[in-house]
Structure 1
Amino acid sequence: MMFDRLCIIGVGLIGGSVARAARSQGLARCIVGYGREQEKPNLETAKRLGVIDEYFLDIGPALREADGVVIAVPVGAIESVFEQLKPYWSDNCIYSDVGSTKSNVIVAAGRVFGTVPANLVPAHPIAGAENSGVEAALPDLFQRRRLIVTPLPQTEPSALNKIQVFWERMGAQVSVMSADHHDAVLAATSHLPHLLAFALVDMLGRQDEQCEIFKYAAGGFRDFTRIASSDPTMWRDICAANKEQLIPLLHQLKTELDKIEQLLADNDGRRLFETFSYARNARQRFLDQLEN
């Protein structure tokens, strides 16, 4: 038993899956959830489904005797959660989060606490699903998925080790890197693809009203745009939080699209073929890495 009382702040898809996975692996004796008044129906569902043992709308009772806290709220709300936690912060508790950006978590903690507490271990499970909410939570969501922790020099080694083992016991493959490196990598591999999917569906959705485009869309469209079904609030916050990494990537993408546009205009089939072949081979290298 790693935690006697684990408190999940934000019992949605990821927070709920943490609770389900922790319960299935016997990592916590008691699991409680905390949320705002408007989240009460979701919390009631979480309790009814057995995802959590109890829920609270007041953070004080939720944190009472907790020795583990996982913050699973949209990244735009992380600073307000730190403000709520500050009066109850305990040296006898380990705190972590699941945010898709990490530099903003560290900056927010520094603003609220003056310095990033040594028992706060920022983390990011690279896992998700199209559906959101606690009803979509799965006990095996993190199996064989990457989990990145971004400790600071002052992070307590014991806290870092416990969070690493916690995630490993839930099936995740844990990596350690700096927050800046994390944000750069995820901007390219996750945040930019989501932006592209949202932008494409936004553009075609407006045309569809006149042209019935979606009626004739094939599987490739569905596969490419699947991530545009993701929670818009969450992704608005992620993109805003990581804009310093995203904006240069968007400029690079515009350059690449301009190049392809020019190749089409020039009827340059050879270079178009070379571009597509390089991309295909690069994706195959990515797939080969997944299998190894």
Structure 2
Amino acid sequence: MENQATQKRPFFNKLVLIGVGLIGGSFALSLKKARAVTHIVGLDRHLTYLEAAKRLGIIDSFTDDMASAVADADLIVIATPVAQTAKILSAIYPYLQANTIVTDAGSTKADVVTAARASLQEKISQFVPAHPIAGREKNGPEAAIDDLYVGKKVVITRLAENSNQAVELVAQAWRLCGAMIHYLSPKEHDQVFASVSHLPHLLAYALVDDIAAKPHADRLFQYAASGFRDFTRIAGSSPEMWRDISLANRDAILEELDSYSLKLKQLRASLEASDSLALESIYSRAQTARVNWINAIEAAEAQNKDGGD
């Protein structure tokens, strides 16, 4: 990564941020902390978000005029629910200059790429899809923090049309936020995250909704402790965003739901039969897999701190 202290000028002169909530706002604050951007223009459906983002120093100005916002931009970042991507890209298209790169932060990629191809047409090479693997249970500009992406993964799902320079520009932006870059195809991305991100969100939402609907919900929540809090933390995420993600990656999520349902049936059968060995076997395999996963994360974090790739 380029030494920020020796930069003759900020990496980005003008950055356009479409969506100034947690994800986009944290990206902006991270680049500002790195002194890597001169001016950030914000656009958002919610005027109150834009006003808050300006007050909090996330953006330097805001507008509802796409033409003036996009003019002379080095980078445009779309950080909105994925269902809005096609409309936003279509609005950008007439004003998109040849030297401007567009990227996104959506949690699904195949649908985003399809939308980009339809909306940007011959300018598709300027769109570099990406997904930062980070978040909080809070939403909005007030939730944005300048170290959200430090040590976190960002997956870039580059297109065949993308130039190496365009991909590296997006990768460098995320590196300036402290992130580690990984590459997957859009299809690989959606299959992976259906399993380890999208399904867990559905399960967390379903459990909380099920308990909340019980006639004695208040009593149940009264005794819920850290285990319940940790398991259901992600149910505090944006319902609109996760509605869009669920529908966008529907087929892959349905496959994961079917697989998980079979595991639940297996657990139920073992419990009904009081089969202690079968239950303990499942629990033990899960415990071992989780310990190995945590150890791998800690090893990767240690390598990153020591200057590893």
Does the TM-score normalized on the shorter chain lie above 0.5? yes
State the partner residue of 1:9: 18
2:42 is matched with 33
Give CA-to-partner distance per residue, 1:208-229, whole Å, 9 cap, x none: 5467211121221111111111
Query: Which sections of structure 2, spanning at least 5 residues, go unmatched?
Result: 1-9, 300-309
SS for the counterpart of 2:124 is: coil
Q: Distance in 2 between matches of 1:237 and 1:94?
A: 24
CA–CA separation in structure 1 for the residues paired with 2:20 and 2:48:
11
Rounded to whole Å, the distance in 2 between the matches of 1:144 and 1:67 is 25
Give the aligned residue type for 2:68: P
Instruction: Please point out which of 202, 209, 213 is paired with 2:209.
Output: 202
Query: What letter is aligned with 1:3?
Result: F
| Cα deviations by residue, 1:233-260 (Å, 9 ceiling, x for unpaired) | 0000011111111001100111000001
Match of 2:305? none
Quote how far apart the aligned CAs of 1:3 are.
Answer: 1.2
Cα deviation, residue 142, structure 1: 0.4
Structure 2 counterpart of 1:18, which letter? F
**CA distance change for structure 1 residues 218 and 94 in 2, over 3 Å: closer, same or farther?**
same
1:248 aligned partner: 255
Residues 237-290 of structure 1 show CA distances to partners (whole Å, capped at 9, x for unaligned) of 011111111001100111000001100111110111111000000100110110
2:71·2:96 contact (CA, 8 Å) conserved in 1?
Answer: no
AA partner of residue 28 (structure 2): A
Q: Does residue 121 of the first structure (1) align with residue 140 of the second (2)? A: no
Write out per-residue CA displacement over residues 121-151 of structure 1, whole angstroms, 9 at most, x where no aligned residue.
1000001011100111111110000000000
Shift of 1:52: 0.8
Which residue of the other structure, out of 48, 53, 56, is the alignment partner of 1:46?
Answer: 53
CA spacing shift, 1:115–1:241, aligned 2, 3 Å: farther
Corresponding residue number in structure 1 for 2:140: 133
Distance change >3 Å, CA 71–CA 211, structure 1 → 2: closer
From 181, 185, 199, the equivalent of 2:188 is: 181
Deviation at 1:54, TM superposition (A): 0.3
Please tell me whether residue 94 in structure 1 is matched to residue 72 in structure 2. Answer: no
CA RMSD in angstroms comes to: 1.2
Aligned to 1:144: 151
- CA positional deviation for 1:102: 0.7
Bigger shift: residues 182-191 or 57-66 = 57-66
User: TM (normalized to structure 1)?
Assistant: 0.97
**After superposition, what is the alpha-carbon deviation per residue over 1:88-138, rounded to whole angstroms, capped at 9, x for unaligned?**
111110110000011111000112233661111100000101110011111
Instruction: Report the 3-state secondary structure (helix = DSSP H, G, I; strand = E; otherwise coil) of the residue aligned with 1:141.
Output: coil
Matched, 1:223 2:214: no
**CA separation in 2, counterparts of 1:115 and 1:92?**
14
Q: Deviations over 1:73-99 (max 9, x none)?
A: 100111110111111111110110000
**Quick one: which amino acid aligns to residue 19 of structure 1?**
A
Q: Residue 72 of structure 1 is aligned with which of 55, 74, 79? A: 79
Match of 1:104, as an amino acid?
A: D
Kindly, what percent of the aligned residue pairs are identical? 40
CA separation of 1:289 and 1:138: change in aligned 2, threshold 3 A: same
The answer to whether the aligner puts 1:22 opposite 2:31 as a matched pair is yes
TM-score by structure 2 length?
A: 0.91
One-letter amino acid of the counterpart of residue 86, structure 2: E
- Counterpart pick for 1:269 among 266, 276, 280: 276
Residue 193 (structure 1) aligned with residue 239 (structure 2):
no
Displacement of 1:205 after TM fit? 0.7
Contact 2:147–2:177 (Cα < 8 Å) also in 1: yes
Contact 1:40 1:57 in 2 (8 A): no
1:168–1:174 Cα contact (<8 Å) kept: yes
2:155 alignment partner, SS class: strand
The CA deviation at 1:63 is 1.2
Matched with 2:4 is none
